[in-house]
Structure 1
Amino acid sequence: MTSAAGTAGGNGAPVRRVLVLMNPGAGRRSVLHTTRRRLQQHGDPQVELLIPDPSDQTEQLAQAQAAVGQGVDAVVVCGGDGMVSLGAHLVARQGVPLGIVPTGSGNDFARACGIPRRYTAALNRVLEALKQPELPVRGVDALRLTLFCAESGATLSGPKWVANSVNIGFDAQVNQRANAQRRVPRKLRYLTALVREVPHFHAEEFVLQAEAGVAERHASSLVCIQNGSSIGGGIPLAPTARVDDGWAEVSHIEPLSRAGLVALFPLLMLRMHRLLRPLTTRRVRHLRVEVPGQVPVFADGDELHSGHGAGAAGVVVEVELIPGALLLL
């Protein structure tokens, strides 16, 4: 694969330009330092690594967008699902491959794609791919999300590319609480937040419209649109979901008691979905969800809507599954 910049190395061969994005908040800092060192010591004179400083995420994004605009041959992200989502937003439908080195607490998209979650194994795989004369790639799907104000119809966010999942309701509120628990060890934040959220949670009423069908009103504990099979660091909410089958899976769970909410995720982890009669999952390519104003919306672990300040009318989440939108190393 020739360099998008068209420059040449010492032997006249084209230089492959690779943009590397890191999340300093994901994983141990020693892991991030080791990853940076391994990449910088890659040793291939025909690979030019572009590594923006990750300490200022706004500046990192600006530099990343500029680099992609000038032309890169691949983008490698080191972090969790949020960083994967950032990488997807940069390269979706651009024909630029995306490499993933999972160092986050969830890594659900990496799990769905069969990428090793031991960072050394994943990094070795990426480095090996970059050495190939032609980059080995695999096409996978992605979700394209737009967030609207329900009252005015104005666009609040997007279009945004989402790799793994869009979370609305209980799971989003757990994520919101987990992100605020800075003193809790990263691996325990989701579980701790889950336990603390249950006493305060109550179901809400959503309006779901799949494809061009009839809008359906549901009282639900959560609504989740998935490209990958798991959420929350390995909870298989939609175990039959595949990242390359051209479908998303939407799950909604009818109102549950507090005891039901406590039992929900352990039963999902044990893949005892048949015991969860309130759980309904179906395949869609396009979904529109009317969300009450006080309900948060998350995508790939990042908050898109806090559930505050949207007014009684709330927001509308529109999600479309785009087959083959991403090329993975």
Structure 2
Amino acid sequence: MFKKIGDQLYLFIINNHSGKGTKVWKQTLPLLLKMGIEFKSYLITKPDDLVDLKLDISTINVKALVIIGGDGTVHHALRFIENTQVPLGIIPAGSGNDFARALKIPKNSRKALRKILNGQTERIDLIKVNDELCTTIVGVGFDAKVAEITNHSRLKPWLNTFKLGKLAYVFGVLKGVFSYQPTDLTINIDGKEKVFSNVWLIAIANTPYYGGGLKICPEADKADGIVNICVAHSLSRLELLMFFPLVFLGKHTLHRCVATDKGEVINISSKSTTTVQADGEMLGNTPVSITVLKSHLNVII
């Protein structure tokens, strides 16, 4: 819906299926109207709806693109502001909200809106995964399988209703640990090749978190021009279950079966087909090519 047309407007995308998107919008809308903020809004029911949304920001004088949703909604919305100077704002309303967590965006929708209207921005890196953009983490292997299980879980919408969305990921881990088969992977980091056997997961991180607060790459920095890499390999299934509590604390990097690294251009191939996810969204299978795009995105902080 439009307010009166002026010099600039805020463009809101609200994911009705992402946690509490509609509830947050109902809290936000009266504030916008009361303050006389000019805006246009789009309501979607799932992140994939953005693939078919006909939206050309170059034809609208947009002050900021604001996402009311989670990491998946942000992921699919990046294509609207790629190669523009339009800043991205977030009012967290997903089940994980790991990108918002990395940006230190308040969970409180009023406080998050206040930051957006203040308009302080920072340029950060993005990850290019084959031909797609990613804000947080690319996962190869077990964590991608868990994301796939979680996204299709019938429990997830129910848990989101009671603000327990993180538990959907925990259930995904428990289900995946008994079905996923580790494999041998080759990872090339800036031209240097390494081979790992019995790999459970590889995380390539622009920011520290995924899965609703799992600190898989504690030292990842969104604006340092590199990605941090975590490889978990040669773990038994019981050891893997014990591994994830360490990840919440960011202490897993000291484990004997964890290798860490950093780089700018990463290529991963595997002995058997391995699932790939980015920002919690499924991107297909290996092989996968990952490149850092330095200072590529303007975000409101």
Whether TM-score is above 0.5 comes out as yes
One of 173, 183, 196 as aligned partner of 1:194 = 173
**Residue 175 in structure 1 maps to residue 144 in structure 2:** no
- Offset from partner CA, 1:233-259 (integer Å, 9 cap, x none): 111111111111111111111121011
Query: Which amino acid in the other structure matches residue 326 of structure 1?
Result: L
1:77 aligns to what?
Answer: 67
Residues 185-221 of structure 1 deviation map (CA, whole Å, 9 limit, x = unaligned): 241210011112112222111111111x233222211
CA displacement at 1:89 relative to structure 2:
2.7
* Aligned mate of 2:256, from 242, 265, 277: 277
Unaligned runs of 5+ in 1: 1-6, 10-14, 130-134, 147-158, 308-314
- Note the C-alpha offset of 1:141: 0.9
Q: Which residue of 1 aligns with 2:38?
A: 48
Deviation at 1:20, TM superposition (A): 0.9
- The residue aligned with 1:109 is 99
Contact 2:141 2:276 in 1 (8 A): yes
Q: Which one has the largest radius of gyration?
A: 1
* Structure 2 residue corresponding to 1:23, chosen from 12, 15, 32: 15
| SS of 1:95 mapped into structure 2 | coil
Instruction: Give the count of matched residue pairs.
Output: 289
Q: Is the 8 A contact 1:107 1:117 kept in 2?
A: no
Residues in 1 aligned to 2:46 and 2:219: alpha-carbon distance in whole angstroms: 38
Q: CA separation in 2, counterparts of 1:181 and 1:59?
A: 19
Out of 62, 77, 98, the residue aligned to residue 87 of structure 1 is 77
CA contact (8 A) 1:52 1:63 kept: no
1:283 and 1:226 map into 2 onto residues whose CA distance is 9
Once residues 90 and 296 of structure 1 are traced to their aligned partners in structure 2, the CA distance between those partners, rounded to angstroms, is: 26
Alpha-carbon distance in structure 2 between the residues aligned to 1:33 and 1:160: 28
CA gap of 1:8–1:105, structure 2 versus 1, over 3 A, is closer
Match of 2:193 in 1: 215
Contact kept in structure 1, 2:144 and 2:276, CA below 8 Å: yes
User: 1:105 deviation in Å?
Assistant: 1.0
CA contact under 8 A between 1:89 and 1:162: conserved in structure 2?
no
For residues 294 and 34 of structure 2, the distance between their equivalents in structure 1, rounded to whole angstroms, comes to 33
Task: Give the corresponding residue for 1:328.
Answer: 299
State the partner residue of 2:182.
Answer: 203
- Summarize the alignment of residues 300-319 of structure 1 with structure 2, pairs less than 5 Å apart: 300-305=279-284, 315-319=286-290
Counterpart contact for 2:148–2:282, Cα < 8 Å? yes
Are the counterparts in 2 of residues 100 and 110 from structure 1 also a CA contact under 8 Å? yes
Which residue, 282, 289, 311 being the options, matches 2:268?
289
Q: Tell me if the contact between 2:123 and 2:299 (Cα under 8 Å) persists in the aligned partners.
A: yes
* C-alpha RMSD over aligned residues: 2.3
Separation of aligned partners in 2, 1:279 and 1:227: 18
Q: Which 10-residue stretch deviates more, 180-189 or 227-236?
A: 180-189
Letter in 2 for 1:166: V
Query: What is the percentage of aligned positions where both structures have the same residue?
Result: 26
The reply on whether 1:140 has 2:124 as its aligned counterpart is yes
Q: Is the 8 A contact 2:267 2:289 kept in 1?
A: yes
Q: Is the Cα–Cα contact under 8 Å of residues 137 and 204 in structure 2 kept in the other structure?
A: yes
- Give the deviation of 1:111 after TM superposition: 1.0
Instruction: Give 5+ residue unaligned stretches, structure 2.
Output: none
Give the match's secondary structure for 1:239.
coil
Distance 1:141 1:58, change over 3 A: closer
Give the structure with the larger strand fraction: 2
AA of the residue aligned to 1:43: M
Separation (CA, whole Å) in 2 of partners of 1:194 and 1:48: 43
Q: Which residue of 1 is the match for residue 57 of structure 2?
A: 67
In the alignment, the residues of structure 1 paired with residue 239 and residue 57 of structure 2 have an alpha-carbon distance, to the nearest angstrom, of 49
